[in-house]
Chain A
Amino acid sequence: MPAASFVPRYRGVMAKLNHAYAAGDEAAFDELLGELNSERELAMRTGIAKLSQSLADALTRFQLDSRIATLAAHEIPDARLRLDHVLKMTEDAVHRTLDLIEQTLPLAECTARDAHTLAETLDDRSHSDIRRFLGEVQGSAERVRKNLSEVMLAQGFQDLTGQILNGVRALIGEVESVLDELSRISGVPLDMATAPAGRGLQGPAVPGVTTNEVVDQNGVDDLIAGLGI
């Protein structure tokens, strides 16, 4: 509401209201208050009418747009499942890496220690080539150990990427529930069976999302063999 229209619109009634108040004319005062109220109600009703029309238009557009139905029924839930899968895959990969580091670190430690012990037992005047070799073995094993420790700390990325993905996942969940609510209001059923299939994302198979895909090498081999190749 522009401020400019405020003063002229209420000037007349305010003057009368002041007058009635000063004169102690309760009946006139009440009547004028009623006028003020109906003025405001009219403005509010006009606003609500405009808002309802916009909402009706938006809902009609929503009903007409099958792309939104597809997004809500297929693609948003798919995106959520894909993110879940990424989270699981990275977590599994990091645990697998940590398993291997935990198994390998003691081997490197042991090799370095044994090479050192063995070199100590050799007398100074002979076996110089073997002693040099043992020194190199010890040095290499210590570097392997140090590098593995760095690899281990680098796996901390999964915590950070995981937190970011969890945030995006929560956002997708919110969009999904807003679309569900919108479909309920508009009466468009978000039935997985009736909504047109989405364009779909390409890339690796995601359990629970991608269908008609051969998911492992054995399956690929069987299919290839079945095709006579």
Chain B
Amino acid sequence: MSSSSIRFLVVDDFSTMRRIIKNFLNDLGYTSIAEADDGKTALPVLKAGDVDFLITDWNMPGMPGLELLKEVRGDPATKKLPVLMVTAEAKREQIVEAAQAGVNGYVVKPFTAQTLKEKIDKILATQAAG
């Protein structure tokens, strides 16, 4: 799969943050980007199998990102999906919890363009190698 054809799903309850990440991904050359405002609305999109890379916030009403991550890992169809958490939650035990739930990368808000790019590239490189 060529890098630009990767289909992203960006999940965040703040429309401004979704827009920022979407613009940023466009800037990196990715053009297929879907959005959802919490885990509940993200799940049907994920189940439909239209997503290659999930970027999710943690703190969201409805279904938070950690629960979404657990759902993704619990479903055989999506258990290997790359998941990058982009969140303001920065407590040590939260990061450990996300890691134990199977997150592939963790970016703390506010983030720089370089950090976000690095984490996405690293996950994609690991996927390609695996």
Contacts and interface: CB of A to CB of B under 8 A. Distances in A.
B27 A149 contact: yes
A158 to B, nearest CB: 5
Contacts of A160: 88, 109-110
A209 interface: no
Given A98-B19, A159-B88, A163-B88, A153 B14 contact: no
Residue among A101, A152, A154 having the largest count of chain B Cβ atoms under 10 Å: A152
Residue among A94, A154, A156 having the largest count of chain B Cβ atoms under 10 Å: A156
A181 B113 CA distance: 49
Contact of A155 (B20, B111, B113): B20
Interface footprint category on B? 10 to 19
Interface string A148-177: 011011111111101100000000000000
B37 interface: no
Contacts of B99: none
Contacts of B113: 149-150, 153
Interface of B: 12, 14-17, 19-20, 23-24, 27, 59, 88, 109-113
Given A95-B19, A153-B112, A154-B110, 18 more contacts: A91-B14, A98-B20, A149-B24, A149-B113, A150-B113, A152-B24, A153-B20, A153-B110, A155-B16, A155-B20, A156-B17, A156-B110, A156-B111, A157-B110, A158-B16, A158-B17, A162-B14, A163-B88
